[in-house]
Chains A and B, each alone.
Chain A
């Protein structure tokens, strides 16, 4: 059972995540969008969207820190467990709270504003459910684990997670984790599996390039290509 939950499920989900994105990018470029609803409503959006997005960015960075950086590294640079802990709880709670409030506003808006609700697909609804579950569970873990008990995920979940990518499998690390972390992990992988089929793909096309891009872009023709149309399959230049 542990193997299924903590080995098979993660790999399946991650595979779906990767292959799914490649597939979506190739076959549904015009559907690769946030499906913005700003046109229908912007008062609530102006409040909820930055709250959610900046919150979730901080949460993401927190996960990079917590999951990606081994405990030994932070200790090597002199950050003690307690310092790290205070820092993580403080920043994590604020970021999580922002995310949660932002998401609550966005979901409220999506349900109550007619035009926005009309523009909501079934996939959107499923995605909101899973995303909300992941976030709520994550925040709950932060609160519960740090206020009521103590579980050092950096020695359990993080190690398990990092080793997945090294094909060094340690399902037992996860099996020992508290229920909250288990659920959060499972829900997160569920989200990863859903990800390529939802509007979440916009994460990979965040318009960061605009920050540094001049206003006008000239694209000259590719010297390697005859004509202006990409050659059809079977009609590429041979030399």
Chain B
């Protein structure tokens, strides 16, 4: 009421409180004449009864018929469970599920989880990009139909007619990527696909077909579908983790384990958290809350990132290290920790931890270089000790110096104890009464100079320096400890030792002081030292609760293994590994398939035939997309000066070939001949296949295919891609793929290696082939950069249209996909689609293939006695005459496998008999699964008749889900307990109680449908969830003294393989990003010229998409800027006159990209970001440079293979699928970027 207002508080011009004026009031007062409704006295409101019919509209809008649980199989760490709403048979929207298992009292919970990307998914169901029907490339279909009518309707002959004719083949291959996909029926499309498989297997061999589907954990059954078919026909499944460059090679090197990391809930347990190149709110959105919340209980959070990234604002401190220099910062922090917590003031917790759980006390032999200097050599082993010389596996039992006796002793738990009779009950970390010496300095001041490599000049050139280490003589060997070598490497001097040592932290000339790192990284020396000190102090006081969350920003570099070893040195020296709240927290995507054993059996058809073919994808494409032809430098370019010149005169391709023929890494296609023919020849000659192959290889009549990848008999012929977008996301060297693999248009600008720089052992063809691949098959629910280049596209069901299982590393639960609607239009689930293909294949195979014998070349495998094939990691190349070719020792194992191709369809649909016969094996533990098979027979029903008569059915996707759950320890308590009991026999320690609390528990698919279900502690993994604790890796190793799967059985700082020494990477070391100017004559960083400014080109994860998914989603396009963008700093933009949102063109030798610029001072000068996997389907105009459509992020990248990633057959450096292999790194790249004409055409 206006009268209540104090006159003093009124300002002139203020209006009376009330309606708009006299006229309004009069009008409203007149209302009573027009209505029965009541007008309030103050004229502000009208009261009516009824008239709410319009409510129906919005009530109908949010009403629905049912809610179905599902999730998104998108290689995201989220693994969020969602409620999918269905109305009138139409998927309408989704909301977050909230029924996750509890994290435990006194901790923040998982739920709610989900981000805008996941919430946008339902758009895809009915989107314009949905693949609704099978599509075939028009020219191909037409030729196939004509050929079929000419060949009495025989599809196999028809396919051969088309692809074996060069003109016809070129006609459809050169049409790839240019539209022209036409609708076909499922029958016709799958018949053609099946015919292609039959023809290829018959003509070229089964290892010429390949399948690619990544990250099984994101939808295990869907992954298993095509993988099972590919494996059953003898095809090659391509790895993904190393290919994505997400596999940190340091993990096998240091831990002997594929990435095993804490779940995100364990971040909360940390007292000190460094986010190192990991942008948590963007890339781990639903889990980032733990990081934010933990700060409220006193956690200190530090961010290391070159740009002012989203996570930096959460951090207490920001260390802006220059891109790719993280290793230098880590080395300097290691320097501080070794100086202050080991040398100046030994810390009991760290000393005790490193003695027990690391190789620091182990003895290393020093090799005499003459002139009074030495080089670190091999680990001293029992074979070097007279008392142990004849012990079983003596070369794999490493040695420490005992403090009490001052004599060398052989502790339990090394690789030599893992296998063989005498190791039973002794493969453990129990030091008994031995107290290993960390340093030999305490009893002996004998010392020698060792030459240590350094690469810290800006161009990364190899240099070395000499530093002294204390030594002892054992037999004829001069030895020191790994710890002493570490102090020398890190430059932590001790009085009395000779050599070049830093004067102090401020000595900028000597690696690896804080002042030295400041020049490299730009991070102030004092800050680096302080953070190191705080990190270690917190670990000391909390007994290991200091954690590093690391991201792709530090892992996608060529030398990321060295960067990571620098990180892992920090977490291991400070006793943080194997402790809740401590250690490394590598980013992972949906890397961890928790029910790994069950999935592996299904995916690789291990229930019917073993072994499967599994290939390292980086080497595969490096050769088959001919990227090796464009490498102008020798393999020794990166060698250390302390090496022995092993790589001299050879190229990386030569090393790949060598690694393959020595059985280190797999290689498919394996031989330059159809393996069926090899088997037939052997049979004709009346000798075993292996013998025949060895004889042929020795005589030179037979060669490895990788020694001549450009010869037609060695091409990959069929590539099937499902659940993946190879050409839109992970294909580093996109233009090389387009040109050589597909024969499509490309913007490749690089020049081939000139004579003199070409491979020595790998055959060079003057004319590089184009269009090697006969069939690119993809199954997808949306059009992507891959489908538009495919020859056949089959319409797939989405994640809201099928049954499947989902897990991640970051959450210890398994949950389900469920169909909210049946697959619409003509779409099918992957499981159905591959069954269809398999059935067709078998029909055609009955006539054209029958039963054949195949020869599978299997590399030396990790977690098997193969890891003892090469004592001391000494290279022995049979081709160089250094040894005899012996399968399984100096070359791959050669296994004859009988394949009944007509039975593949039946085998796909049933669980095979090898389950009972051979059991299942994961990481060296074999399980008896008889009970599980019986259970599955009852649960799924048995197949009647045919090759799979009486076997448990796998016909439906739900059957496959049940099989995965029943055959894995993490989801079947009986198997977990059984596995631990098996392991106990070897370790002699108590383990099975870890799973005892869940021994009777069998997680069923129905359980996962009801809610995300916690998994069971199992020997398949290294951490414990027993009693509801948060998962942290290696807690079983630390708490139960179970060895790591390494040479010493401990975590390794030192790697003594020949090739590691060659590269100067025996110990953690700093190696800068590759110098693209020197390697490829690219301009130097910072150059500004007519063509633009030269900048580092990084392709980090995107805020608006998960890989290429969601990037094309209308909602995400609206939320983001939409279309391809490149982020650049205001300073770089100013140099070339670029304003925000201008069209820019980025060009290097690999290709061309057109995008809009996002100019932001958030970016550091000299670096641009193009978020990876922005698909070419959205807003990509014609480039000025190439006059072709302007590429995608990978148009500017290419593969570069690091030789040390090819090591195999030696302890933890042995191959296992997605465990070890060369990484598809891409961060060392540079590009020239400029403003282009703002008029774009499409």
Q: A residues bordering B, Cβ < 8 Å?
A: 209, 211-225, 228-230
Is the Cβ of A219 less than 8 Å from the Cβ of B27? no
12 contacts across the A-B interface (CB closer than 8 A):
A212-B27, A214-B43, A214-B45, A216-B44, A217-B48, A218-B46, A220-B48, A220-B49, A220-B50, A224-B50, A228-B52, A229-B59
Is the Cβ of A217 less than 8 Å from the Cβ of B46? yes
Within 8 A of A (CB), among B2-36: 27-28, 30-31, 34
Which A residues lie within 8 Å of B59 (CB)? 228-229
Given contacts A212-B27, A212-B30, A214-B39, are A228 and B46 in contact (CB under 8 A)?
no
Is the Cβ of B52 less than 8 Å from the Cβ of A219? yes
Shortest beta-carbon contacts, A-B, top 10? A222-B50, A216-B45, A212-B31, A214-B46, A217-B46, A218-B47, A219-B48, A212-B27, A219-B52, A219-B51
B55: which of A209, A212, A220, A228 is its contact (CB, 8 Å)? A228
Which A residues lie within 8 Å of B34 (CB)? 209, 212
Which B residues lie within 8 Å of A211 (CB)? 27
A229: which of B40, B46, B55 is its contact (CB, 8 Å)? B55
Is the Cβ of A220 less than 8 Å from the Cβ of B53? no
Per-residue contact bits, chain B 49-71, to A (CB 8 Å; 1 contact, 0 not): 11111011001000000000000
Is the Cβ of B40 less than 8 Å from the Cβ of A219? no
* Alpha-carbon gap, A60 to B52, bound state (A): 34
* Alpha-carbon gap, A25 to B49, bound state (A): 22
Question: With contacts defined as CB atoms under 8 Å apart, how many contacts are there between chain A and chain B in the complex?
Answer: 57
Residue of A nearest to B63 (CB): A229
CB distance from B562 to the nearest CB of A (A): 57
* Alpha-carbon gap, A86 to B33, bound state (A): 37
Residue of B nearest to A214 (CB): B46
Which B residues lie within 8 Å of A209 (CB)? 34
- Interface SS of A by simple majority: loop
Q: B residues bordering A, Cβ < 8 Å?
A: 27-28, 30-31, 34, 39-40, 43-53, 55-56, 59
CB distance from B661 to the nearest CB of A (A): 66
Which A residues lie within 8 Å of B31 (CB)? 212-214
Residue of A nearest to B53 (CB): A230
CB distance from B29 to the nearest CB of A (A): 8
Residue of A nearest to B33 (CB): A212
* Alpha-carbon gap, A230 to B40, bound state (A): 28
Which A residues lie within 8 Å of B52 (CB)? 219, 221-222, 228
Which A residues lie within 8 Å of B56 (CB)? 229-230
Is the Cβ of A217 less than 8 Å from the Cβ of B28? no
CB distance from A77 to the nearest CB of B (A): 27
Given contacts A212-B34, A229-B59, A230-B56, are A217 and B27 in contact (CB under 8 A)?
no
Which A residues lie within 8 Å of B43 (CB)? 214
Given contacts A212-B27, A214-B28, are A221 and B50 in contact (CB under 8 A)?
yes
Which B residues lie within 8 Å of A228 (CB)? 52, 55, 59
Is the Cβ of B48 less than 8 Å from the Cβ of A218? yes
Which A residues lie within 8 Å of B45 (CB)? 214-218
Which B residues lie within 8 Å of A216 (CB)? 44-46
Which B residues lie within 8 Å of A225 (CB)? 50
* Alpha-carbon gap, A182 to B663, bound state (A): 99
Residue of A nearest to B34 (CB): A212
Residue of A nearest to B38 (CB): A218
Residue of A nearest to B39 (CB): A214
* Alpha-carbon gap, A228 to B53, bound state (A): 9
Other than A214-B39, A224-B50, give 11 A-B pairs with Cβ distance below 8 A: A213-B46, A214-B44, A217-B45, A217-B46, A217-B48, A218-B46, A219-B51, A220-B48, A221-B50, A222-B50, A228-B52
CB distance from B57 to the nearest CB of A (A): 8
* Alpha-carbon gap, A218 to B46, bound state (A): 6
Is the Cβ of A222 less than 8 Å from the Cβ of B27? no
Given contacts A220-B47, A228-B59, A229-B59, are A214 and B53 in contact (CB under 8 A)?
no
Residue of B nearest to A212 (CB): B31
CB distance from A33 to the nearest CB of B (A): 14
* Alpha-carbon gap, A216 to B27, bound state (A): 15
Which B residues lie within 8 Å of A213 (CB)? 28, 31, 46
* Alpha-carbon gap, A148 to B967, bound state (A): 101
Is the Cβ of B27 less than 8 Å from the Cβ of A215? no
Is the Cβ of B27 less than 8 Å from the Cβ of A214? no
Residue of B nearest to A221 (CB): B52
* Alpha-carbon gap, A215 to B49, bound state (A): 17
* Alpha-carbon gap, A215 to B45, bound state (A): 6
CB distance from A67 to the nearest CB of B (A): 28
* Alpha-carbon gap, A217 to B48, bound state (A): 7
Is the Cβ of A219 less than 8 Å from the Cβ of B49? yes
* Alpha-carbon gap, A230 to B56, bound state (A): 7
Residue of A nearest to B59 (CB): A229
Which A residues lie within 8 Å of B49 (CB)? 219-223
Which B residues lie within 8 Å of A224 (CB)? 50
Residue of B nearest to A223 (CB): B49
* Alpha-carbon gap, A219 to B50, bound state (A): 6
Is the Cβ of A212 less than 8 Å from the Cβ of B47? no
CB distance from A210 to the nearest CB of B (A): 9
CB distance from A6 to the nearest CB of B (A): 39
Which A residues lie within 8 Å of B55 (CB)? 228-229
Which A residues lie within 8 Å of B44 (CB)? 214-216
Which A residues lie within 8 Å of B46 (CB)? 213-214, 216-218
Which B residues lie within 8 Å of A212 (CB)? 27-28, 30-31, 34
CB distance from B18 to the nearest CB of A (A): 12
* Alpha-carbon gap, A7 to B523, bound state (A): 93
CB distance from B407 to the nearest CB of A (A): 88
Residue of A nearest to B30 (CB): A212
CB distance from B394 to the nearest CB of A (A): 82
* Alpha-carbon gap, A213 to B30, bound state (A): 9
CB distance from B33 to the nearest CB of A (A): 9
CB distance from A219 to the nearest CB of B (A): 5
* Alpha-carbon gap, A96 to B46, bound state (A): 39
CB distance from A118 to the nearest CB of B (A): 19
Which B residues lie within 8 Å of A222 (CB)? 49-52
Which B residues lie within 8 Å of A218 (CB)? 45-48
Residue of B nearest to A218 (CB): B47
CB distance from A216 to the nearest CB of B (A): 4
Residue of A nearest to B60 (CB): A229
* Alpha-carbon gap, A213 to B34, bound state (A): 10
Which A residues lie within 8 Å of B53 (CB)? 230
CB distance from B37 to the nearest CB of A (A): 8
CB distance from A173 to the nearest CB of B (A): 39
* Alpha-carbon gap, A224 to B51, bound state (A): 12
Which A residues lie within 8 Å of B30 (CB)? 212
Which B residues lie within 8 Å of A219 (CB)? 48-52
CB distance from B1148 to the nearest CB of A (A): 39
* Alpha-carbon gap, A216 to B40, bound state (A): 10
CB distance from B21 to the nearest CB of A (A): 13
* Alpha-carbon gap, A13 to B39, bound state (A): 41
Which A residues lie within 8 Å of B27 (CB)? 211-212
CB distance from A170 to the nearest CB of B (A): 38
Residue of A nearest to B32 (CB): A212
* Alpha-carbon gap, A198 to B30, bound state (A): 33
CB distance from A48 to the nearest CB of B (A): 27
CB distance from B375 to the nearest CB of A (A): 75
Task: Select the residue from A218, A219, A222 with max chain B CB neighbours within 10 A.
Answer: A219
Which B residues lie within 8 Å of A230 (CB)? 53, 56
Task: Select the residue from A214, A216, A220, A222 with max chain B CB neighbours within 10 A.
Answer: A214
* Alpha-carbon gap, A214 to B28, bound state (A): 6
CB distance from A27 to the nearest CB of B (A): 14
Which A residues lie within 8 Å of B28 (CB)? 212-214
* Alpha-carbon gap, A214 to B20, bound state (A): 11
Is the Cβ of A214 less than 8 Å from the Cβ of B48? no
Residue of A nearest to B49 (CB): A220
* Alpha-carbon gap, A209 to B33, bound state (A): 12
* Alpha-carbon gap, A70 to B396, bound state (A): 119
* Alpha-carbon gap, A98 to B73, bound state (A): 64
Which A residues lie within 8 Å of B47 (CB)? 218, 220
CB distance from B238 to the nearest CB of A (A): 48
* Alpha-carbon gap, A222 to B46, bound state (A): 16
* Alpha-carbon gap, A214 to B47, bound state (A): 10
